[in-house]
Amino acid sequence: MIYKSIRFSVIFVLLLACQPKERQQESVGGMAVPISQALEEPAVLPGHPESSEGASRIEEYFTRKNKYGFNGTVLYAENGQVTFSKAYGFSNLRSKDSLTMESAFQLASVSKPITALAVLKLYENKQLNLEDTVQQYLPEFPYPGISIRMLLNHRSGLSNYMYFSDEFWPDRDIPISNPDILDLMVKYEPKPYYPPDRRYNYCNTNYAMLALIVEKVSGMSFEAFVKVNIFLPLDMSNSLIYNKSNYPKNFNHVVGYSSGRRVAENTYLNGVVGDKGVYASAIDLFKLDQALYDESLISHATLEEAYTLQHKDLRTWDNYGLGWRINARDPDNKVVYHTGWWKGFHTYFLRELGSRKTLIILSNTDRGSSMGVKELLSLI
């Protein structure tokens, strides 16, 4: 009954958030303020120091990208100070509603670091251990020998639900959920790609299962747990998790576009969360970035674990930790980052830990939004 009450409360709050523009604040699309004013609120950002060389390079780079179709928001910070931020283009290409720095985008796989943080919160609270098996929390899970750590670092060997769902899910007009994914695995036992811990294999199924474990351990929906333990404490006021299983229609004001101006499909797979599904603004991700330096969310010791290379079979400069991709070529300036793509949305969240530089790029169109991480790092 407690679980249902919490779930109902969260759904009610999210419904209230999806109100017309006349309200003072929109839950997902951001404050209805002009772009030029979007970063002038001192309670949101720590200020705008004189532009740095990195900021100048980034501005020049995205001025060019914008000419070739880039549509989205960009934020660059050094030592906790935002030195460049700008919104380019529209949240809706048809209505020509302008993007602002508070506009929330589908983060795609940039959702994975947030899912990992949810799991690590439970780990810090001694509610689970990273070496525990999945079957300790999901007894029906049909694959023995897979630990929570193996889900976090992509060494489970599991097959990708996005492929076996296409084969086994009977009606794509009905959203598939995380429990449904587990049910399909129990019923059909899709063959794993590799035995547990054999090798790295990036797989969305891992993070769908992690979201289920968060629910099992916390007694809350995944959406509610992330909201209560991450979004609210950090005042990530434009962030939420969209789950098509709960809301057939996506009320987010930023529309994703693929193949030019075609609205991207709200696929049945959007009922699965953990691997994707988080919506957040560039400002919200900057708040998260800063919180990971001051231990307001999680301890340095736990983060050090998350930032540790987990794969001896991968290169030092192209590795994976617990929810983060890692470039440790320079051990004194390790880069932890994630990128994402999903149904018209392209996202980049890059963090140089030694120099404390942060680059956040959120785009809602395919055109002009494909960028290499190496290229982006060269700008900062």
Q: Indicate which residues carry an active-site annotation.
A: 109
Three-class SS of residue 191?
coil
List the beta strands (DSSP E) in 16-155: 25-26, 30-31, 72-78, 81-88, 90-92, 97-98, 105-106
End-to-end CA distance of the chain: give it in Å, rounded. 50
Of 283, 260, 279, nearest in space to 368 by CA: 260
How many Å separate Cα 199 from the centre of its chain? 24
Contact 122, 298 (CB under 8 A): no
Of 92, 74, 89, nearest in space to 29 by CA: 92
Say how far apart CA 380 and CA 372 lie, in whole Å: 13
Instruction: Residue 86: count other Cβ atoms within 10 Å of its Cβ.
Output: 21
Contact 239, 29 (CB under 8 A): no
* Residues whose CB falls within 8 Å of the CB of residue 340, separated by 6 or more in sequence, listed in order: 107, 108, 109, 110, 111, 112, 276, 346, 347, 348
**Phi/psi-derived region of residue 343, left when phi > 0, alpha when psi is between -120 and 50, beta in every other case:** left
Length of the chain: 380
List the beta strands (DSSP E) in the chain: 25-26, 30-31, 72-78, 81-88, 90-92, 97-98, 105-106, 240-241, 257-258, 262-263, 278-280, 319-320, 325-327, 335-342, 345-352, 357-363
* Residues whose CB falls within 8 Å of the CB of residue 69, separated by 6 or more in sequence, listed in order: 365, 367, 368
